[in-house]
Amino acid sequence: MNLRPGLKIIVMVILLSTSVPALGMENRWYFSAQEIDAAYRYQELFGGRLRHPLKPQACYHGKSEFIASLQGRQFVAPCRFITETTRHLKQMLENGAARYLFPLDADHAHLSVPKELWAEKYSKLSIGEVLPELLREPKLIALYHTAEHLAIGEPNYGPEFVLIKEWHAKRNVLGFFDGRPIKILPPLANGGAYDRLEDSQTIGTVYFVAHRLGEIVFSARGRGMSIDISFDEDSTGGQ
């Protein structure tokens, strides 16, 4: 199974900083909790940033909107999207649904709306019109996937194994943009991720990654953190 380009440098860090046999980056997909922790510490300090991060500084100076972009096209977006997304991430970190905000754990969410609402209100809009309008929709939902590359390991029922099992069991999370708390979906029998929400229309993806130079700052689990958020997936590959 091939890794996305943005993961390769992270995997190389794992192979160089642990005693894992150097099997080659393309042969690794799952990693232990210790390996993920080591890679995350590198990511925060030295890892790549998203190439086109949202810059919502206007939101921190009393504005209700800021200039966002998708594939080079700029548009006006509501600050509420940023505040609600960071609220989701904070809650995920604090309740153990995610431990880290980067590709080996949680780094994206799929945005969707109910199919009936899509057909009634949004389906006839052009590509350039859809996202700016949907970001203002109170019924917008974000489906987050966490523990994307977490290896469960052999059962030993020790404290760390129990924490890992709980982390993996919470890997499908719904975030709402109307102030409701996040919702943990029941785990699938195969331990995988939900592809989509029933009776919902997926309309795009939002990406995020922690980095010491990130544009957006918030606190979770008693510590401050900086992240980039973007509608474009590509990263710089490192500082």
Tell me, what amino acid is at 162? V
pLDDT digits (tens, 9 = 90+) for 199-238: 999 999 999 999 999 999 999 999 999 999 999 987 665 5
Mean per-residue pLDDT, 17-44: 72
Q: Which two tokens stand for residue 14?
A: 């794992």
The answer to which of 170-174, 188-192, 221-225 has the lowest mean pLDDT is: 188-192
Classify burial at 157, counting beta carbons within 10 Å of its beta carbon; exposed 0-12, middle 13-18, buried 19 or more: exposed
User: pLDDT tier at 26 (50, 70, 90 boundaries)?
Assistant: very low
Strand partners, 174: 143, 183
Q: Which pLDDT score, from 0 to 100, does residue 24 have?
A: 43
Query: Which residue from 114, 65, 232 is spatially nearest to 122, judged by alpha carbons?
Result: 114
Alpha helix (H) ranges present in 55-195? 79-94, 115-117, 127-134, 159-169
Enumerate long-range contacts of 135-140, CB under 8 Å, 24 or more apart: 135/68, 135/77, 135/78, 135/81, 136/78, 136/80, 137/113, 137/177, 138/177, 138/178, 139/113, 139/114, 139/177, 139/178, 140/111, 140/112, 140/113, 140/176, 140/177
Q: Domain locations in the chain? A: 50-230
Q: Which two tokens stand for residue 99?
A: 């431990």
Angle between helices 33-46 and 5-17 (to 10 degrees): 110
User: pLDDT tier at 7 (50, 70, 90 boundaries)?
Assistant: low
Q: Please determine, for residue 153, whether its predicted confidence score (pLDDT) is greater than 80.
A: no
User: pLDDT tier at 196 (50, 70, 90 boundaries)?
Assistant: confident
Strand partners, 68: 75
pTM of the model: 0.86
DSSP state of 105: S
pLDDT digits (tens, 9 = 90+) for 62-121: 999 999 999 999 999 999 999 999 999 999 999 999 999 999 999 999 999 999 999 999
The answer to which of 14-23, 45-54, 90-99 has the lowest mean pLDDT is: 14-23
Reduced to 3 states, what is the DSSP secondary structure of residue 206?
A: strand
Classify burial at 204, counting beta carbons within 10 Å of its beta carbon; exposed 0-12, middle 13-18, buried 19 or more: middle
Q: Which two tokens stand for residue 159?
A: 């404290």
Q: Which two tokens stand for residue 77?
A: 């977006």
Taken as a whole, the chain contains a residue count of 239
